[in-house]
Amino acid sequence: MKDAQENILVTDEQLIQDEFDKLIKEYLNTNHRRKVELITKAFNFANQAHTGVKRRSGEPYIMHPLAVARIVCNEMGLGSTSICSALLHDVVEDTEYTVEDIENMFGKKIAQIVDGLTKISGGIFGEQASAQAENFRKLLLTMSDDIRVILIKIADRLHNMRTLGSLRPAKQYKIAGETQYLYAPLAHRLGLFTIKTELEDLSFKYEHPQEYESISTKLQATEELRNTVFEKFAGPVHERLEKLELSYEMRARVKPIYSIWNKMQTKGVPFEDIYDIYAVRIIFDSKPGIDDKNLCWDVYSAITDIYRIRPDRIRDWVSRPKANGYQALHLTVMGPDGQWVEIQIRSRKMDEIAEKGFAAHWKYKGNNIEEDTELDKWLKTITEILENPDPNALDFLDTIKLNLFTAEIFVFTPKGDIKTLPQGATALDFAYALHTNIGNKCIGAKVNHRLVPLSHRLTSGDQVEILTSRSQSPQIEWINFVTTAKARTKIDGALKKMRKEAARVGEEKILKIFEKEELEPTVNNIDKLAQYFGFARREDFFYSVEKGDTPLPDSIKKLLKEKTDNVLFKYVKQALRVASKNDKDLTKQKVETQEEKRKQAIDKTKPYLLSELGYDQNYVIAQCCKPIPGDDSIGFINDDGKVVVHKRACPIATRLKSSFGERILSTEWSNHKNLSFEATLEVKGIDALGVLNTITQVLSKDFNVNIQHLMVDAKDGVFEGKLKIKVHDVEDVQRICVNLSKVKNIKFIGRVAD
C-alpha cells in the first residue's frame, strides 16, 4: 500500500514538473523579458501552498494554476507579471497566506492583481453570486485599475470550462450559463476572439450535448468536400498574390459549432442550408514603408480581379476598427463552384490583435507604435456607470451587458467627427454620448438634415445634429428612449436629483405655512400632516405638494387639532391594520418555512424527475420558452419552492443560471402520454390548391392532433405559415415533421419558438 502511494506521489510530481517545463518553454518563445527566476519562484511557492490538495477530477490542484498560467502566456500573450499572478491566483483564497505575504515575496503589482482576483472570486463569479451587484461593481473597478485582473479571470474560467466534465449536471449548467451570459461577452469586448469562441462552444457542448455532437459529426463528414472547394478557390488567388511579392499565408477557417447552431435557430434552417460554414483568411507580413491598410486593399483588388464580388457584404474594419480593436477587411465573392465565399484580409499584427485581443495591442503600444485604443474609452464608460449609487442587482448586470456584447454603428457629428454606438441606439443616446449636459437639454435631433424625435433609432453613416433648449430637463419616459448604459445611468441620476430638489422646495412651502399659522414645525406635526394626506414618507409628501398633486387647505390648524376621538379612532384603525398584518406575516412565515423545507427536500445531486403525475404540483412549464417533454431543459427553484422548467437555450434561463446558480437543477423527463403541451411549427412551400387541406388532414387523421391556431400567408406563388398544435413530446413533433415533409410542395417544416 505504501509503495503504491509513493508511486502515485512520484507520478504526480512528474506530471506537475512536465506542465511547468511546458510553461517555461512557451514563455521563452515569447518576446517578453526573460524573468524565469521570478516565475519559478512563484511556481514553487504556489506548489508548496497547494501541496496535497486535489481537484474534483483527482489531479493535483497546482495543475489548475499552471494551466491558467499557460493560457495567460500562450493564448493571451501576457508577460511574467501576469504569469506569476496566474500561478498565485488561488493562494490567498484557499490557503493561510495573505496578500501581505504575496507583496513581501513578489512585489506590490503582483500582490494587487492577486488581491483583485481574490476579491472577485466570491462575487458575481462565486458560489453566492445571486443578485450581488456590489461584487460586480468591485470587479469592474478593479478591472479599470488593472485589466490583467479580468484577463486572468477569463483564463481561469476557460480552464474550468475545459475540465467541466468532472462536475454534476446541475453545476455544469450553472457554470455554462454564466459563461455564456458574462464571460464570453467580456472576452468578446476585450478582443479575445479565439477564447470567446471556445467559451461559447464549450458552454454549448455541455448544455446541448446531442446537438453539439450532431453538428461536429456533420462538419467532419463534409471536411473533405470543403478542402476540395478551398483548393479550387485558392489556386488562382495564389498566382495573383505572388505577383504582389507579399509574404502571406492563406487558410480556410471553419465556422464555430455554436455559431452554426445559433444561425440554424435564428434562420430556422437545417445544417445543410448554412452556406458560410467556412471563410478564407489571408494573413500577410507588413512591408517597410507601406501602410498595412494599403496592402489590404491591394489584396482586395487582386481577388476581385478574379472573382465576382457581392457589394452589400464588404466590411471595412481597416479604416475604422471595431471598439475591441479588431481590424480586417471582409468581402464576399462568388467562388468557382457557384457558392459565396467570405474572405478576411489582415496583416500579421491585425491577426494577432484579433486572436489575442488588447494584450497584443499593449505589445505594440509598448513599442510606441500604437496610440490609445478604444478599450480606454470603454473602461471610462464602465467607470461612469459605476457612479450610479444603488442599482438593482440584475438590472445593473443587464446595463453593463448592454455595453459588452453588441453590434456597433458609426454616426457622424455635423463637423464630421465619428461616434461609435451600439446597434439600436437612438438620437437621445447620441446626445448623451456627446456630453451629459447636451443629453439633459435635448429636445430633438436632425438626422441627415431631417427633424426626428428623441426616440429615433440611428443607423451607420447617419449625420446627427442635436437640438437643445435651456428650459429642457430629463423626463421619466426618456428611460424608454435609450439603449446605452451611459444614457440610462445619467437620466436616472438626473431624475433623482430633480425629485430631491422638488421635495426640498415642497418642504419650504410647508414650513412657511406652519410659520404663517404660528405652529411648531416639529417632526411629529409634519408626519401627522403627511399621514392625513396618505403619505408614509415625508419626502413623498413634500414632492407631491411641490408638483401640485396635493393642494393644501387654507388652514392646517384644524387638521392638526382634530378631536381626540377622531385621532383615537385613527390610531385604533391603524393598530387593527398592524395586527392584521402581523397575522398575515405569521401565516406567510409558516408558508415560507414549508416552502423552505420543500426546497431542501430536493436532491440537487440527481436529475429532477419531470413526471406526468407531478405536473402543476411539483413543477410548472416556463411560459417564456414553453419546453415540452424531450427538450433539453433545466429546472429553477422559484421563491415559492416550485420548480419552473425552462429550455436550456432560453435567454431567461441563461440569466437565471448566471445569477441564481444555486437554484438550478438538472432535469429528466419521464414518459408523457396523457398530458399535451403546446408546440409551434413553421411551414413553407409552393402555393398550390389543396396544400392547406392536406396539412390539416395529416395532423388530424394520422396523428389525432388538436390544432389550436393556424395562420398561413400566400404571396407570389409561395406560402408560409405557423401551426400551433398540442403534442405529448418531442418525438410527436419529429414524426409530424417527417410526415409533412413528404407532402408535395412543402419545402420546409420545423419547430420554432412561440
Q: How does residue 378 score in pLDDT terms, banded at 50, 70 and 90?
A: low
DSSP-based three-state secondary structure for 415: coil
Q: Is the pLDDT of residue 354 over 70?
A: yes
**372 a catalytic residue:** no
Alpha-carbon distance of 702 to 699, in angstroms, equals 6
Helix %, strand %, coil % of the chain (to 5):
55, 15, 30
Q: Is the pLDDT of residue 392 over 50?
A: no
pLDDT at position 340 is 84
Strand order in the sheet with 706-715: 706-715, 718-727, 677-686, 746-752
36-49 helix and 2-28 helix, angle to the nearest 10 degrees: 150
Mean pLDDT of 611-622: 80
Pairing of strands 643-647, 619-621: parallel
Residue 729, C-alpha cell as written in the block:
413530446
pLDDT at position 620 is 87
Q: Any bridge partners for residue 715, and if so which?
A: 718
Instruction: Match 519559478 to its residue by C-alpha cell.
Output: 40
**93 a catalytic residue:** yes
Alpha-carbon distance of 111 to 59, in angstroms, equals 27
Rg for the chain, CA atoms, rounded: 32
Q: Which amino acid is at 50?
A: H
Q: Quick one: which of 608, 669, 617, 665 has its CA closest to 637?
A: 665
Q: How does residue 626 score in pLDDT terms, banded at 50, 70 and 90?
A: confident
698: exposed, middle or buried (Cβ count in 10 Å: 0-12, 13-18, 19+):
middle
Residue 255 DSSP class: P
Q: Quick one: which of 376, 464, 457, 386 has its CA closest to 419?
A: 464
Q: Quick one: which of 398, 394, 418 has its CA closest to 408?
A: 418
Q: What is the dihedral of CA 56, 57, 61, 64, to 10 degrees?
A: -110
* φ/ψ of residue 635, rounded to 5: -110, 145
Q: Which amino acid is at 167?
A: L
pLDDT at position 55 is 84
Alpha-carbon distance of 258 to 256, in angstroms, equals 6
Q: How does residue 595 score in pLDDT terms, banded at 50, 70 and 90?
A: very low
Residue 137, C-alpha cell as written in the block:
461593481
Write out pLDDT tens, residues 647-699.
888 888 877 777 777 788 888 888 877 888 888 988 888 888 878 888 888 88
Q: Is the pLDDT of residue 365 over 60?
A: no
398: exposed, middle or buried (Cβ count in 10 Å: 0-12, 13-18, 19+):
middle
Q: Is the pLDDT of residue 373 over 50?
A: no
Among the options 12, 26, 59, 93, which is catalytic? 93
DSSP string covering 322-340: -TT----EEEEEE-TTS-E
pTM of structure:
0.65
DSSP-based three-state secondary structure for 690: coil
Mean pLDDT of 123-135: 42
pLDDT at position 600 is 52
Identify the top-confidence range among 274-283, 371-380, 562-571.
Answer: 274-283
Q: Quick one: which of 231, 218, 225 has its CA closest to 335?
A: 231
pLDDT at position 126 is 45
Distance of CA 622 to the CA centre of its chain: 21
pLDDT at position 132 is 37
Mean pLDDT of 329-345: 88
Q: How does residue 389 score in pLDDT terms, banded at 50, 70 and 90?
A: very low
Mean pLDDT of 632-644: 85
Q: Is the pLDDT of residue 172 over 70?
A: yes
DSSP string covering 121-135: HTTTTSTT-TT-HHH
In sequence order, the 6+-apart residues with CB closer than 8 A to the CB of 95 are: 49, 50
CA distances from 414 to 216, 421, 444, 676 (A): 50, 16, 15, 59
The answer to whether residues 695 and 723 touch, using CB atoms and an 8 Å cutoff, is yes
* φ/ψ of residue 708, rounded to 5: -85, -35
Residue 249, C-alpha cell as written in the block:
499565408
Q: How does residue 427 score in pLDDT terms, banded at 50, 70 and 90?
A: very high
Q: Is the pLDDT of residue 369 over 50?
A: no
- Considering the chain, what percentage of its residues have pLDDT values greater than 90? 17
Alpha-carbon distance of 102 to 115, in angstroms, equals 9
Length of the chain: 754
Residue 646, C-alpha cell as written in the block:
425552462
B/e letters for 636-653, b = 16+ CB within 10 Å, e = fewer, are bbbeebbbbbbbbbbeeb
Among the options 94, 101, 276, 370, which is catalytic? 94
pLDDT at position 419 is 81
Residue 512 DSSP class: H
> How many angstroms separate the most distant Cα atoms in the chain?
103
Instruction: Match 409628501 to its residue by C-alpha cell.
Output: 541
Task: Kindly report the average pLDDT of the chain as a whole number.
Answer: 79
DSSP string covering 51-113: TT-B-TTSSBTTHHHHHHHHIIIIIT---HHHHHHHHTTTHHHHSS--HHHHHHHH-HHHHHH
pLDDT at position 130 is 38
DSSP string covering 450-514: EEE-TTPBP-TT-BEEEEE-TT----GGGGGG--SHHHHHHHHHHHHHHHHHHHHHHHHHHHHHH
Alpha-carbon distance of 479 to 129, in angstroms, equals 27
List the Cα angle 91/92/96 in 5-degree steps.
90
Alpha-carbon distance of 561 to 573, in angstroms, equals 19
Alpha-carbon distance of 287 to 298, in angstroms, equals 12
Ranges 46-60, 429-443, 511-525: which has the least confidence:
511-525
Write out pLDDT tens, residues 481-501.
888 878 888 888 888 888 888
Q: Is the pLDDT of residue 54 over 70?
A: yes
pLDDT at position 328 is 92
Residue 624, C-alpha cell as written in the block:
417564456
Alpha-carbon distance of 692 to 436, in angstroms, equals 57
